[in-house]
Chain A
């Protein structure tokens, strides 16, 4: 972890020295290109990135041209798509899935004049590669609070995709804040081993409901879990994931986490236009507007809603960090001491559950 931070800092320094100087004069027109892992019609991950891309045109008009490619498989194909984009005259290329990490860095090495921005990764092998991510766990904390207050059965559920730090972080944050307001709460995690399989997600939600779970959060991208919850006539609630999923208001969708990439995209392209662009490693969240909490509906009692909103505002103001000690790991060993805030490195490499969660992380 330490080595990585060190490298990142060194690379950042280089980026400032060379990249910054080279771009100081700015540009008249920017061609921004986007590589998507899914279809823009997935109403989840890729859809939200595309909304951010469209916002660029909205903001800068003629000064920005966008191009994109959907359904790009991770691996060999990504490298080719990126190279072709670079050859076609893109000035900045956003690669929006973790699996594009190595391809992004390889191609960036061949095109030092083009800026590359990789979402959710950690490698910045070249001065023209930046990384960005969002602190979704901040939103999970608010969901956890609502879940802990709202559950009547004291059983809450989480439909997880793959056992990776991003997902584990979310589960921990969700459980931590549910337990904080409800010491009796138990968490059931179902690993779907897919990012997107609506039928399986519906089955997973059904399995949780059949087990007596009455609040479901999901880390997979479809609305299927909400639709399943909707069949219970209000007995089970859930949250929108990635996009607002407003169709399921006011219940079962009582709130949502919205991935809002627009502020970041607008900022970065703007910097390229005015010549202030420099390499970064951005991990923004609620304060920057990258993670938005969708409207908390009236299905949530007013006092709970007020508490949840207060937590959101505290996170936005920087006065509250969702992972503030004391927190122990699942096996009881201490992780964070009283008042200690989780270092970003610990979060990004999180491979353990916190104390109180039963069940194992699949290996």
Chain B
């Protein structure tokens, strides 16, 4: 069934394909661990995609492009933050409105950038490592953003688990009233988390417009933000599981295209639904097993905080 598919190439491809989703998902994971549900990931990603693209084209530097992308996503998330944290607007509705707004605004500001080629982002020269059979292709032939995506997962994992900052963040997400009573600035912490989430979504978007596709067109993210949201839930709000989830999803997507290209006899209509169905199936298996309690969302997720005292 897998005849003709080179596993090294497949794994290398899935690692690259998953980068935008990992970046956006790990950002949203931090936001949600702080008790905020921002459904506007798609809007922030596409703002990142367009801002990153414009920055890269006008400065000629792909690196600055990524910085611009992160900024673009963060600025849009600021709108969400002000609305939900200061004006206590409903988070679900604000997030969805953010997506609508982001899709429109990105298309407006990107109008004159359609059809331009951005500067290239090259693979990191890892010298002899890249020549190691199999692992060289799989692990040591990527651009720096790929490594950044994995590093950000590790960093978020470490911060949440082992630092005071992570403890406070989780406390705010589990019970904002208790955290407030302990003297933590709930609103400030949540704002920072939201900005981080926006920046990461922006980075993910910029990866699409600068590396994956590389070009700017309207609607370029084509739903990647929604998948990132699903991956956060899939991961039960745990960083490494988000990585696994994104690789699983990206892997099946790449595999189904490879199976088609290799002339597999499995009907395409089943193949194209496979990434979604298998993700659901894996989550069902995971959630029906042991450790059910650990799967629950942060207790204050989606609730607004207003300090009455």
**A positions within 8 Å CB-CB of B:** 38-39, 41-43, 47, 157, 188-191, 193-194, 196-204, 206-208, 210-213, 222-224, 227, 243, 247-248, 358-360, 362-363
Q: How many A-B residue pairs have CB under 8 A?
A: 117
Contact (Cβ within 8 A) B111 A198: no
Q: Give Cα A222 to B258, complex, Å.
A: 20
Contact (Cβ within 8 A) B219 A39: yes
A362 proximity list for chain B (CB < 8 A): 267-269
Q: A190-B257, A199-B213, A247-B116 are in contact. List 8 more A-B contacts (CB 8 A).
A: A39-B218, A197-B222, A199-B222, A203-B13, A207-B260, A222-B217, A224-B215, A227-B213
B272 at the interface (CB under 8 A from A): yes
Contact (Cβ within 8 A) B215 A190: no
B223 proximity list for chain A (CB < 8 A): 197
Contact (Cβ within 8 A) B261 A227: no
Q: A188-B261, A191-B268, A199-B20 are in contact. Are A43 and B254 (CB under 8 A)?
A: no
Q: Give Cα A203 to B222, complex, Å.
A: 13
Contact (Cβ within 8 A) A210 B213: no
A203 proximity list for chain B (CB < 8 A): 13, 17, 253-254, 257
Q: A41-B107, A202-B212, A203-B13 are in contact. Are A211 and B5 (CB under 8 A)?
A: yes
B215 proximity list for chain A (CB < 8 A): 43, 198, 222-224, 227
B257 proximity list for chain A (CB < 8 A): 190, 200, 203-204, 206-207
Q: Give Cα A208 to B267, complex, Å.
A: 18
Contact (Cβ within 8 A) A189 B254: no
Contact (Cβ within 8 A) B261 A213: yes
**CB-nearest residue of chain A to B12:** A210
Contact (Cβ within 8 A) A208 B261: yes
Select which of A43, A194, A243, A359 is within 8 A of B263 by beta carbon.
Answer: A359
B261 proximity list for chain A (CB < 8 A): 157, 188, 190, 204, 207-208, 210-211, 213
**CB-nearest residue of chain B to A245:** B115
Main DSSP-derived SS at the A contact region? mixed
Q: Give Cα A210 to B214, complex, Å.
A: 19
B224 at the interface (CB under 8 A from A): yes
Interface core residue of A47, A358, A362 (most chain B CB under 10 Å): A362
B114 proximity list for chain A (CB < 8 A): 41, 43, 47
- Cβ proximity bits B247-268 to A, threshold 8 Å, 1 near / 0 not: 0000001100110111101011
Contact (Cβ within 8 A) B13 A188: no
The 9 closest A-B pairs by CB, nearest first: A207-B257, A198-B213, A39-B218, A362-B268, A197-B222, A211-B261, A210-B9, A207-B258, A207-B261
Select which of A191, A198, A213, A227 is within 8 A of B220 by beta carbon.
Answer: A198
B264 to chain A, nearest CB (A): 9
A110 to chain B, nearest CB (A): 32
B208 at the interface (CB under 8 A from A): yes
Interface core residue of B110, B215, B254 (most chain A CB under 10 Å): B215
Task: Bin the interface of chain B by size.
Answer: 35 or more
Contact (Cβ within 8 A) B213 A222: yes
Contact (Cβ within 8 A) A42 B6: no
Q: Give Cα A199 to B5, complex, Å.
A: 21
B208 proximity list for chain A (CB < 8 A): 198-199
B258 proximity list for chain A (CB < 8 A): 207, 210-211
Q: A203-B17, A206-B254, A210-B9 are in contact. Are A42 and B217 (CB under 8 A)?
A: yes
B263 proximity list for chain A (CB < 8 A): 188, 358-359
B110 proximity list for chain A (CB < 8 A): 41
B246 to chain A, nearest CB (A): 13
12 cross-chain CB contacts under 8 A: A188-B260, A190-B260, A197-B223, A198-B212, A198-B220, A199-B212, A199-B221, A203-B254, A210-B9, A211-B261, A224-B215, A362-B267
Contact (Cβ within 8 A) A43 B267: no
B241 at the interface (CB under 8 A from A): no
Q: Give Cα A157 to B258, complex, Å.
A: 12
A206 proximity list for chain B (CB < 8 A): 13, 17, 254, 257
**CB-nearest residue of chain B to A189:** B260
Contact (Cβ within 8 A) A39 B9: no
Within 8 A of A (CB), among B4-19: 4-6, 9-10, 13, 17
B212 proximity list for chain A (CB < 8 A): 198-199, 202, 224
Contact (Cβ within 8 A) A210 B217: no
Interface core residue of A194, A203, A248 (most chain B CB under 10 Å): A203
B117 at the interface (CB under 8 A from A): yes
- Cβ proximity bits B197-232 to A, threshold 8 Å, 1 near / 0 not: 000000000001000111101111111100000000
A41 proximity list for chain B (CB < 8 A): 107, 110-111, 114, 217-218
- Cβ proximity bits B226-244 to A, threshold 8 Å, 1 near / 0 not: 0000000000000000000
B253 proximity list for chain A (CB < 8 A): 200, 203
B182 to chain A, nearest CB (A): 43
Q: Give Cα A193 to B253, complex, Å.
A: 13
A30 to chain B, nearest CB (A): 27
B100 to chain A, nearest CB (A): 13
Q: Give Cα A212 to B261, complex, Å.
A: 10
Q: Give Cα A363 to B111, complex, Å.
A: 38
**CB-nearest residue of chain B to A44:** B217
Contact (Cβ within 8 A) B6 A210: yes
- Cβ proximity bits B16-29 to A, threshold 8 Å, 1 near / 0 not: 01001000000000
B219 proximity list for chain A (CB < 8 A): 39, 196
Q: Give Cα A225 to B107, complex, Å.
A: 22
**CB-nearest residue of chain B to A246:** B115
A223 proximity list for chain B (CB < 8 A): 115, 213, 215
B211 to chain A, nearest CB (A): 9
Q: Give Cα A318 to B258, complex, Å.
A: 40
Interface core residue of B110, B117, B222, B260 (most chain A CB under 10 Å): B260
Q: Give Cα A18 to B101, complex, Å.
A: 48
